[in-house]
Amino acid sequence: MALTAIHTDLASPKKCPDKGNARGMETAALLVVVWLATIAAHLFTAFGAGSGFSTDDAMRLVEVRDLLAGQSWFDLTQYRLDPPVGVVMHWSRLIDLPLALLIRAGEVVLPTAMAERVATVVTAVLRGIHEAISEYQVTYPEYQAAKAWMIEVGETGEWPLFLDVWVEHVVEEVATEHRHGSKGTIEGPYYVPGSPTIGSAGSVPMRPNESGTPLVWTGRVTSTDGTALDGATIELWHADNDGLYSQFAPGIPEWNLRGTFAIGADGRFEIHTVRPAPYQIPTDGACGQLIAAAGWHAWRPAHIHVKVSAPGHELLTAQLYFPGDEHNDDDIASAVKPELVLDPKAAADGQTVAYDFVLDPVRS
């Protein structure tokens, strides 16, 4: 019942009705961009002789850039080679033309560099798909089944779920690989901004007699040089003892187990909450069909989500896990990292845990 409710809620987002039109326009713009990028990708692939974005493709892109920058249609010299005389290229402008037109069209909604980047990344994505089809000799029935499944993912609103579970963890790793402070991990689909503000010490909102082991978490928010970060905030959210999130499962108070802690000059915080339970991602939709077909499980280990921010520092998004959870090693979302596993201690009433956050200054 609860999973169905979660799925239904994911499929019908209704928390920000005032943003509906803006999101619709963003979606339409994105579709246009993806459409254009896909066409460009096919062209890249075509002139790359099926080998993806090769050095020849890169040279072609340089040639197109020069054409768009004003070089004559009839001047086939590439002046970046053997300057200042340049080298006369033997490639036809007829191939440059559609690519140039697509980049110009893409510039209607994106700057040139971004339009080129969209085309380049989508080319690589398509190349990966093409290689998998060839390597595993994918059949037409399998192709049709995959197409029908993708359509269902869209119609049931499960693209956020799919992407957050199976794709986001790599994006997060790329985005944070330069950092020296605390490790982060994926945000996941259950974050809701605007949770009630609490001081630097206190309890997250919870029901009377909230089920679960009481947990007191103490720590400090500092910069990488050890300086306490006055004005930092910790947004915290997690599932309850049944593995359910407020605002995504019925019958739970709006901000249950969600709160924003405002940190003072000493950087210290003390959070009172309860230990969350592991949960399965929704299995009653298209993602569940994929999990069943692949013979996977749908479990995420128990975890507490946080977003830690401070002026002049990069936002840290993380999840904290508990030792001994059977799914720490095979999390369906691949989000667990050793640095994110807590070390709770038994206390008179529940457990205590100490865990600090170190934020990286914003790069100049």
Which residue has the closest beta carbon to Fe ion?
188
b/e code 286-324 from CB counts within 10 Å (16+ = b) = bbbebbeeeeeebbbbbbbbbbbbbeebbebbbbbbbee
CB–CB of 273/349 below 8 Å?
Answer: no
Site stretch for Fe ion (CB under 5 A), options 70-78, 127-135, 137-145, 184-192: 184-192
Q: Which stretch binds Fe ion (CB under 5 A): 18-26, 97-105, 115-123, 188-196?
A: 188-196
Q: How far is the CB of 188 from Fe ion (least distance, A)?
A: 5
Q: In this structure, what token pair is assigned to residue 156?
A: 């049931």
Which positions from 197 to 236 touch Fe ion by CB under 5 A, shown as an x/- string? ----------------------------------------
Minimum CB–partner distance for residue 3 and Fe ion (Å): 14
Query: Is 301 an interacting residue with respect to Fe ion (CB under 5 A)?
Result: no
Contact at 8 Å (CB) between 246 and 204? Answer: no
CB-based contact 217:201 (threshold 8 Å): no
CB of 189 to Fe ion, least distance (A): 8
User: Does 259 sit near Fe ion (CB under 5 A)?
Assistant: no
Q: How far is the CB of 254 from Fe ion (least distance, A)?
A: 17
Distance CA 272, CA 252 (A): 19
Quick check: 188 binds Fe ion (CB under 5 A)? yes
Q: Which tokens in the block code for residue 260?
A: 């924003």
The piece of 101-109, 120-128, 185-193, 283-291 that touches Fe ion (CB under 5 A) is 185-193
Per rule CB under 5 A, count of chain residues that contact Fe ion: 1
Tell whether omega for the bond before 84 is within 30 degrees of 0, i.e. cis. Answer: yes
User: Is residue 258 exposed (0-12), middle (13-18) or buried (19+ Cβ within 10 Å)?
Assistant: buried
| Binding segment toward Fe ion, per CB under 5 A, in 25-33, 134-142, 183-191, 332-340 | 183-191
Nearest CB to Fe ion, comparing residues 2 and 102? 2
**Residues of this chain that bind Fe ion (CB under 5 A):** 188
